[in-house]
Chains A and B, each alone.
Chain A
Amino acid sequence: MIPPELMDIDTDDAVEEAIKRMRPFIRATAQHLSEGDIELAQDMEQEAGIALWRVDPTRFDATDDEYLHGVLFKTMQKTRRRERAFYR
């Protein structure tokens, strides 16, 4: 492993920053898609955070929010489908 003391910038901070910046969108979308199911909304928010880590926010700038919203929306839709299929 790379020794952490060598680092000046760790891009994990970018994930935290992106989650914080996208939180209003994530929360609103989760509430809308979950239709009042609080546990489902929480799962969707968690999956959205993982999706942000997966796409790597460092490769996006302020003009890319629309793209990121699309990624988050699709991720949360997929989570809803999966959860509903599981409990059916």
Chain B
Amino acid sequence: MIPLSPVLLIASAGALLDGGSLGRRPGWVAGAAALVHHAGYWSHFDHRGGRSNWPLPQTTDCAELATFAGERSVLSDEPPRIGEIFLLWSPSKRRFVHTGIVLASDRFDVVGREPARYECLTIEGGITRTGCIGGEGLARVRRMLVPGRGDRSIRWMGLEVRLTSPRRSVA
């Protein structure tokens, strides 16, 4: 079994980028969640055993990812960290509308009573040329994540212990 590793996820996702251009790949039009699953699944695929240890469900629905993570206590409103899966909140639709993989994160201070912002470097699918949702592109993106405005990240590395702990498997 391949242990859960953000390094593996980032390496797999990075290998899908087309040398800095805005890549387009068949099948990812459905959205960013498909890219996350593709990279996660194959980065944790055990070729001897013929199965993947990737703990997140295959879905194109970001809300489903959030529900899954929330039920397992790995949905975080803390600053995003390297290798985590971010979920972007839409205040107009009042649901998560986008997702991707966090490569780097820095606090971005704003004057005034604004909630803390984090300038993140990410790999995302399903975006336009300016990084907006609803596109077909795959790229590295610099974007702001604001947990205080609803954005979340999935600390999926924490799922390993829960899934494999002897106590849980007995239950």
Contact = CB atoms under 8 A, between A and B. Distances in A.
Contacts of A61: 97, 132-134
Interface in B81-106: 88-93, 97-98, 104, 106
A59 B130 contact: no
Interface of B: 17, 20-22, 88-93, 97-98, 104, 106, 114, 119, 121, 127-134, 137, 139-144, 146
Contacts of B20: 8
A13 interface: yes
Given A8-B141, A10-B131, A13-B130, A59 B121 contact: no
Interface stretch (A27-35, A36-44, A49-57, A78-86): A49-57
A7 B131 CA distance: 11
Contacts, number: 84
Interface residues of A, number: 24
Contacts of B133: 58-61
Given A59-B90, A59-B97, A59-B98, 12 more contacts: A2-B121, A9-B127, A9-B129, A10-B141, A11-B130, A11-B131, A17-B130, A55-B91, A58-B133, A59-B132, A60-B133, A67-B92
A-side interface mostly: helix
Contacts of B142: 2, 7, 9-12
Contacts of A2: 104, 106, 119, 121, 142
A57 B132 CA distance: 7
**5 residue pairs, one from A and one from B, having the closest CB atoms:** A67-B92, A61-B134, A14-B130, A11-B131, A8-B139
Listed residue (A6, A8, A11) with the most chain B CB atoms within 10 angstroms of its CB = A8
Nearest to B143: A11
A65 to B, nearest CB: 9
Contacts of B127: 9, 58
A63 to B, nearest CB: 8
Interface string A62-86: 1010011000000000000000000
A7 B130 CA distance: 12
A49 to B, nearest CB: 15
A2 B90 CA distance: 25
15 contacts: A8-B17, A9-B142, A11-B130, A11-B141, A11-B143, A11-B144, A13-B131, A58-B132, A58-B133, A59-B90, A60-B133, A61-B97, A61-B132, A64-B90, A67-B91
